[in-house]
Structure 1
Amino acid sequence: MVNLSQITFLIIGCIASLAILIIINLEKIKFKRDIQINTTKKEYYAKPVISKFEIKMFERLKKACPEHHVLAQVAFSALMTSNYMATRNKFNRKVTDFVILNHHLDVVCIIELDDPSHAGKGNEDAKRDAMLQEAGYTVLRYTNIPTVRQLQKDIY
């Protein structure tokens, strides 16, 4: 004979099984929807490597230093490292505007160009410069695009 506790256990088991089937079907529906969304919407978009203001500076740097290589948008992590993860986390998402390399591909200097978006970020910029300087680099920071002559004077 079946007692009340067995019937209760059977009912709870059925309800749990039904709930699991519902959850599985909802996940399948969600997965199919995500696939449809991902096939119609792009996740990645191209964007310009440097701004129009930086393009002008790049061209000026090429004229000022024709025997050097000018790199744009170089990650700090390509220029420095640390034995400490906490220290690496301070710079791992930062990028310099320009790096000037000599013909041996040694870094001559790092150039930061402060466009109007840098207003009020002097403290943050000083910390960035200090990191690079501690790593042994010369940092030149400009708020306007300097003349070819000024760049030559500063870089050489």
Structure 2
Amino acid sequence: MTLVGSVFLTVSIVSGLILIWLMIKPKKRIGFENCKKIYTDIKAKKILTVKERPMYYDLVKACPSNLIVLCQVSFNSMITTRNIARRNEFNRAACDYCLCDKDFNPVLVLELDDRSHLYHKERDIKRDTLLNSAGIPVIRFTERPSISELKKAIRNAI
């Protein structure tokens, strides 16, 4: 056998062995334990603030039985547009509470505005306008309403 033939045979055998090894070696799976090692800086947090939690429970009590109470719903889940520039206006926004019908169509959005909203009035007006344009009314509260106030506000809005 010539030198070229020997080199070709050796390269072919080595390549074949590497290919077989790649096919039979155990696949590394990325599961929870691996993610935990990779993203050690990520922590879970509460979905609602201390002030938002009691209102959620009050809303559940005040809500008509034909509606569902959701919290921290992204605008992308409620409204859409083909206009990319318009979508960028709401793609990271979320509402405090959304009342949906049994088919999960948004019926009403409720916001509990804390002090931070004093500095974001224009942003809030823009968000309300976006939701209203899609036929979703918005009710804003500056303090936690009573259950009877919630019932009345919901009844008047829908």
TM-score between both structures, scaled by the size of structure 2: 0.69
Fraction of identical pairs, as percent: 36
Q: Which residue of structure 2 aligns with residue 136 of structure 1?
A: 135
Change in Cα spacing, 1:69 to 1:40, as seen in structure 2 (3 Å) is: closer
Change in Cα spacing, 1:72 to 1:40, as seen in structure 2 (3 Å) is: closer
Counterpart check, 1:127 vs 2:140: no
Higher helix share: 1
Q: Which residue of structure 1 aligns with residue 60 of structure 2?
A: 62
How many residue pairs end up in the alignment? 119
Contact 1:102 1:108 in 2 (8 A): yes
User: What are the equivalent positions in structure 2 for 1:1-156 lying under 5 Å apart?
Assistant: 39=37, 42-65=40-63, 67=65, 68-156=67-155
Contact 1:111 1:141 in 2 (8 A): yes
TM-score between both structures, scaled by the size of structure 1: 0.70
TM-superposed CA distance for 1:39, in Å, is 4.8
The unaligned stretches of length 5 or more in structure 1 are 1-37
1:27-46, Cα deviation, whole Å (9 max, x unpaired)? xxxxxxxxxxx958713211
Q: Which residue of structure 2 aligns with residue 6 of structure 1?
A: none
Change in Cα spacing, 1:39 to 1:116, as seen in structure 2 (3 Å) is: same
TM-superposed CA distance for 1:117, in Å, is 2.1
The unaligned stretches of length 5 or more in structure 2 are 1-35
RMSD: 1.8
Contact 1:75 1:93 in 2 (8 A): yes
Please tell me the residue identity of whatever aligns with 1:69.
Answer: I
Aligned to 2:128, the other structure's residue is in SS state helix
> Counterparts of 1:134 and 1:82 in 2: how far apart (Å)?
11
Higher mean C-alpha deviation, range 57-66 or range 68-77: 57-66
